[in-house]
A = this chain, B = another copy of it.
Amino acid sequence: MITIHHLGVSQSDRIVWLMEELGLPYELKWYNRKEDRLAPDEYLALHPAATAPIIQDGDLMLAESAAIVEYICHRYADGKFTVCPDQPNYAEYLYWMHFNNNILGLFFAKSALRAQAHGPDADRIGGLIKRREEGYYRYLEQRLGASPYLAGPEFTCADVMVIFDLTSLPLFGGRTIKDLPNAQSYVQRIGERPAYMKAMKIAGPTAVPPTA
């Protein structure tokens, strides 16, 4: 059985969500953040890169959301929620599987800039970050005007990957989607999925950690 090493208020809630969507059993191991909001030492000891989420499957310790969701769907669910190379929306699927890490990078960069950066260098990097962010969200809004889900007509792992950016990142100062009506209805539609609601109750940003 797969163990989800869940860092509280982190991207690992999407793995809980995926398992609920697939109806697969899993063990949830919860780690609370420290006072400084960073991961505790026992979490850091799990994997050399020590990013959240991390799953354990036998001897395998696997980090990186997008790797984890593809791994689980292909190894345990016959490729459900993935798109194959011979399907017409394969390129779209691939693209959106990488959106999350791009947005996270910009999020870190913006947080860094907000930390009192001034001067011509700050303006230059700030301008670059702004333009990239505008581009990504412009494409997102456009795509969701043309398609109910990111990869096409069906719900896929690409949706599992991106929702966090639209719902949780704004809680930490990330870009909101207030000005993006297509993205808003998309978030609402996803939010009505029973597996999503269940997973967020178990492991979402406002979930209550189990008492030790």
Q: Which residue numbers of A lie inside 8 Å of B, CB to CB?
A: 36, 38, 47-51, 60, 62-64, 66-67, 70-71, 74-75, 79, 85, 90-91, 94-95, 97-98, 101-102, 104-119, 121-122, 124-129, 131-132, 135-136, 138-139, 142
Contact = CB atoms under 8 A, between A and B. Distances in A.
18 contacts: A49-B135, A49-B136, A51-B135, A66-B94, A66-B97, A74-B85, A101-B101, A101-B102, A102-B105, A105-B106, A105-B108, A108-B108, A108-B109, A108-B128, A112-B122, A112-B129, A115-B118, A115-B122
Please tell me how many copies of the chain the complex holds. 2
Contact of A117 (B85, B116, B135): B116
Given A36-B124, A115-B122, 12 more contacts: A51-B102, A67-B97, A71-B90, A71-B94, A75-B85, A79-B85, A108-B109, A108-B128, A110-B112, A112-B113, A115-B125, A116-B116
A26 to B, nearest CB: 16
Given A49-B136, A117-B117, A128 B98 contact: no
| Residue from A94, A107, A108 having most chain B Cβ neighbours under 10 A | A108
Tell which of A74, A97, A98 has the most Cβ of chain B within 10 Å: A98
